[in-house]
Structure 1
Amino acid sequence: MTAFLATLGGKLADTWLSLLVLPGLLYLAVASAGSVLGHRNPFDHGRLIERIDTMAGAPATHSPGTVVLVAALVLAGSAGVSRLAGALGGGVERLWLGDWPRPLRPVARALTRRRARRWSAADARYRQALTARALRAASASASVSASTSASTSEGPSALGDVRDDSTTAPDTAELGEARNLIALTHPTRPTWMGDRLLAADARVHRSYAIDLTSAWPRLWLLLPDTAHTEIQTARAALTGAARRAAWGLLYVLPALWWWPAAVIVAVTWAGAWRQGRLAVHEFAELVEAAVDLHGRDLATALGIPCEERLTAAEGLEITRTLRKGA
């Protein structure tokens, strides 16, 4: 028990140091240094050193009580700022996933309509390209058949009339990728990340007729530890990215009196946003993979016969069972 408590205490101390103290200390250091340097002399380190020497030479700094008090205040301030970043991170995550508060909902609806129009236009171009490619393939097949028939009477030169205009045709793969960059399914949220999560639900329902909202808690209980770890890691990556974005927002304050902090804001926010998109995509892929690989286990656990692959028939029965008539 003593060893366990020592190990647990070490882990808690490491977590407290890495998540609360160090980021908060860095923020306080930047804010304090920026308040000394200002906009006019943003890199005048001599001025900063002079201010530190002046503070160090003050009589109060030689008192042990003052040193302890200042250290405690710095640690408490660092932890407080870090807790604030964590709270803001939850708000950033909600914004990323399209769950916007009531005052912002008119803006959310306008963005959703705009994304839906762009997606519909991109989807129409993609489907038109698919139709055109199918028509060209059918036309080419008919031309080859006609040329082959004619070659028996007119000779091999008749094959030279068959032309390949595939070089002038639109690339369906590029058009499909352009559509998917907007959303995998018809957008219903103001953000890509929110639609990416909803797309997992829609794709699972379209393939298996399973209501993922009601099925996921039961499926989670059946997943092996490896799947739990992978999904939890992806989810934690999203939370971490939102927290880093929140730190970027906090650095807006010192940027008001020290402009280099604005660079920190831009770099931190851009990196966090990129990592958040990757984390959402990976999380959604893992959720779909869990249904693909363990959907039969869920059907079996519910007493629904599923001897081979999971189909929409078994999926519909799973949904009816889990919804309990609702």
Structure 2
Amino acid sequence: MSAKFLESFGSKLAEQWVATLLTPAFVFWAGGAAAGLQRFGWKRASTWLSQQPEPLQIAFLVGVFCLIVASAFVVQRFDLAVLRFLEGYWHPWLRPLRRWLIAREEKRSQRINDRWQELQKLQRLNPNQITTEQRDELIQLDLQLHYLPLENQIMPTRLGNILRAAEQWPLEKYGLDAIVCWSRLWLLLPDAVKKDLQEARADLNTAVRFWFWSLLFIVWTFWAWWAAPVGIFSAIFIYRYWALEAARNYGELIEATFDLHRHLLYQSLRWNLPPDPNEERRVGRQLTEYFWRGWGL
């Protein structure tokens, strides 16, 4: 290869190369290349590449770079669709599976709630007799309940339940529908709050994107058997230890935003923020109705 091409690693183009190599798109195509080399042999590929003229070798590398960048851009466009899928918003023909998963999540929710009630009663009646393990279990159960929506709003996946619970808390506490009010509240938030929310949402989107790339990795199975277990294990690991945690963090920030900044909605419309919680829930529902349909008073 020419010296000019090697010198390009010190330019802006080199910076883009390095950034691209660190993306899941590169891992996906590198895995595909490894599977292809296993299937067809490294010697054949290296012999073919070495026999090509230098301009063709450079064109080949540039083409690989463009393929990685283009595929990363295309997959990124599906972030929202993949997130909605992981939440449990599925096509109607998957309704039987969705109903089965919702029933399973409802049973899990009931088990958590029953055990929490049992430990709460034990702590209330015998606060000095509850063990450290039981107290730790009570704390964990309380956290799990916080990330579960109301019984009639259960989603088929845990990620969906976490985000659904985050959407419900503003309505339960303040009468504000998060879906209707969020776009209005966003325009009023301080820049520092927006930055934190954007970073949390970016982390969730990145986790979803890595999950999708892991699932796509299974396509290389027709060249190498190990692609399937690698893709499946990666998808499970990313979902359990990254996507769920990112969803919890994002949901908590949404709840905190309504807790601390909901007054901006009232101020922007010159409505008085009710001091009483019960009255605020009633007025909050009126405010939501006003935003959605244009009346509420």
Alignment TM class, shorter chain as reference: 0.7 to 0.9
Match of 1:123 among 110, 113, 116: 113
Distance 1:317 1:258 in 2: 61
Cα shift readout 1:163-219 (whole Å, capped 9, x = no counterpart): x6545x982551452464374333510111111112123222222222222222222
CA-atom RMSD, angstroms? 3.4
Matched letter for residue 38 of structure 2: L
1:124 deviates by 1.9
The residue that corresponds to 1:206 in the other structure is: 172
* 1:214–1:319 CA contact under 8 A, matched in 2: no
Is this contact kept in 1: 2:17–2:65, CA < 8 A?
Answer: no
Q: Percent identity?
A: 26
Contact 2:170 2:176 in 1 (8 A): yes
Deviations 1:251-308 (A, max 9, x none): 112233223434542453244312211111111111111111112232232222238x
Q: Distance in 2 between matches of 1:243 and 1:52?
A: 31
Give the SS at the match of 1:120.
helix
Question: What is the letter of the counterpart of residue 185 of structure 1?
Answer: P
Amino acid at match of 2:30: A
Alpha-carbon deviations, 1:225-275, whole Å to 9, x = none? 000000011111111111111111121122332234345424532443122
Q: Does 1:245 align with 2:238?
A: no
Describe the SS at the equivalent of 1:108: helix
CA distance in 1, matches of 2:237, 2:190: 32
Return the alpha-carbon distance in structure 1 between the equivalents of residues 90 and 20 of structure 2. 27
1:62 paired with 2:53, answer yes
Q: Point out the structure with max Rg over C-alpha.
A: 1
Q: Which moved more, 1:312-321 or 1:68-77?
A: 68-77
> Which residue, 150, 166, 169 being the options, matches 1:186?
150
State the partner residue of 1:103: 93
Q: Counterpart of 1:311?
A: 277
SS at match of 1:190: coil
Do residues 277 (structure 1) and 240 (structure 2) align? no
Contact 2:166–2:254 (CA<8 Å) still a contact in 1?
yes
For the residue of structure 1 that corresponds to 2:262, the secondary structure is helix
Deviations 1:117-138 (A, max 9, x none): 221132122213323433346x
What SS does the corresponding residue of 1:92 show, helix, strand or coil? helix
Query: How far apart, in 2, do the equivalents of 1:26 and 1:11 lie?
Result: 22
2:186 counterpart (215, 220, 240):
220
Paired letter, 2:148: L
State the match for 1:30 in structure 2.
31
CA distance in 2, matches of 1:243, 1:35: 24
Match of 1:290 among 246, 257, 263: 257
Q: Do the aligned partners of residues 212 and 22 (structure 1) sit closer, same or farther apart at CA in structure 2, a change above 3 Å counting?
A: closer
**Preserved contact between residue 20 and residue 68 of structure 2 (Cα < 8 Å):** no
State the one-letter code of the partner of 1:236.
A
Please tell me the residue identity of whatever aligns with 2:53. Answer: H
C-alpha contact (below 8 Å) 2:174/2:284 kept by paired residues: no
Paired amino acid for 1:171: Q
Unmatched segments (≥5 aa) in structure 1:
1-9, 40-46, 138-163
Aligned to 1:85: 75
Q: Structure 1 pair 131/262, CA: closer, same or farther in 2 (3 Å)?
A: same
Shift of 1:316: 2.5
1:212–1:36 CA distance, 2 compared to 1 (3 A):
closer
Contact 2:109 2:148 in 1 (8 A): no
Name the structure 2 match of 1:177: 140
- Number of aligned positions between the proteins: 278
TM-score, normalization by structure 1: 0.72
Any conservation in 1 of the 2:25–2:71 contact (CA below 8 Å)? yes
Amino acid paired to 2:149 = T
Would you say the 8 A contact 2:159–2:247 is kept in 1? yes
Whether contact under 8 Å (1:23, 1:78) holds in the other structure is no
Q: Determine the C-alpha separation between the residues in 1 that align with 2:202 and 2:75.
A: 16
